[in-house]
Amino acid sequence: MDRRVIPAAAVAAREDVGPAKPSRVSRREFGSCVAAAAAGWLMTACGPRRLHELSKDRLRARLRDLEREYSERYAAPVTVTDTPAMPNVLFAYALDISRCVGCRRCVYACVDENNQSRDPQVHWIRVLQMDKDRGVDFTHADPYYAPREVPEEGHFYVPVACQQCRNAPCTKVCPTGATWTEPDGIVVIDYDWCIGCRYCMAACPYGARHFNWSEPSIPRGQLNAKTHVLGNRPRPKGVVEKCTFCIQRTRDGRYPACVEACPVGARKFGNLLDPDSEIRYIIEHKRVLVLKEDINTVPKFFYFYAT
Under the rule (CB under 6 A), what is the footprint of ligand SF4? 100-106, 127, 157, 159, 162-165, 168-170, 187, 204, 206, 208-209, 242, 261-262, 264, 266-267, 297
Coil, strand, or helix at residue 13?
helix
Question: 74 or 248: whose CB is closer to ligand SF4?
Answer: 248
Q: Give the nearest distance from C-beta 240 to ligand SF4 in angstroms.
A: 9
N-to-C CA span, the chain: 18
Task: Enumerate the H helices of 86-219 as residue ranges.
Answer: 105-113, 169-173, 199-203
101 vs 272, beta carbon nearer ligand SF4: 101
Q: 246 vs 262, which CB is nearer to ligand SF4?
A: 262
The residue (of 63 and 101) whose beta carbon lies closer to ligand SF4 is: 101
Taking the complex as a whole, how short is the minimal distance between the CB of residue 89 and ligand SF4, in angstroms?
Answer: 17
Q: How far is CA 29 from the centre of its chain?
A: 27
Residue 37 beta carbon to ligand SF4: minimum distance, rounded to whole angstroms = 20
- Measured between alpha carbons, how far is 180 from 165 in angstroms, rounded to an integer? 11
Smallest distance from ligand SF4 to CB 97, Å: 9
Residue placing its CB nearer to ligand SF4 in the complex, 63 or 162 = 162
Q: How many residues does the chain have?
A: 307
Is the bond into 120 cis (omega within 30 degrees of 0)? yes
* Residue placing its CB nearer to ligand SF4 in the complex, 102 or 216: 102
Name the minimum Å distance from CB 64 to ligand SF4: 30
Closest alpha carbon to 70 in 214, 211, 236: 236
Q: Which amino acid is at 281?
A: Y
Helix ranges (H only) for the chain are 27-46, 56-74, 105-113, 169-173, 199-203, 247-250, 257-261, 278-285
Which of 183, 211, 182 shows the shortest CA–CA distance to 197? 211
Beta carbons of 142 and 136 less than 8 angstroms apart: no
In the complex, minimum distance from the CB of residue 167 to ligand SF4, in angstroms, rounded to a whole number: 9
* Shortest distance, position 192 Cβ to ligand SF4, whole Å: 19
88 - beta bridge partners?
none
Q: Among positive and negative, which fits the CA dihedral 88, 93, 213, 80?
A: negative
The residue (of 223 and 262) whose beta carbon lies closer to ligand SF4 is 262
